[in-house]
Amino acid sequence: MTGELENMDNLTVALASASPRRKALLQQLGLSVVRVGTEIDESRQSGEAIVQYVARLAREKAAAGRQDARSQGLPVIGGDTVVAVGETRFDKPSGYEDAMETLKFLGGRTHDVHSAVAIAFADQVPTVSVVSSRVTFRALKDAEIDAYWASGEPRGKAGAYAIQGLGAAFVEHLEGSHSAVMGLPVFEVAKMLRDGGLDVLDGSRWAA
> Which residue type occupies 41?
D
CB 18 within 8 A of CB 24: no
CB 106 within 8 A of CB 142: no
Q: For residue 80, indicate whether it is catalytic.
A: yes
Q: Which of 80, 123, 195, 199 is catalytic?
A: 80
Instruction: Kindly give, in sequence order, each residue whose CB lies less than 8 Å from that of residue 27, ignoring residues fewer than 6 positions away.
Output: 33
Other residues' Cβ atoms within 10 Å of the Cβ of residue 127: 15
For residues 196 and 114, what is the distance between their CA atoms, to the nearest angstrom?
23
Could you list the active site residues? 80
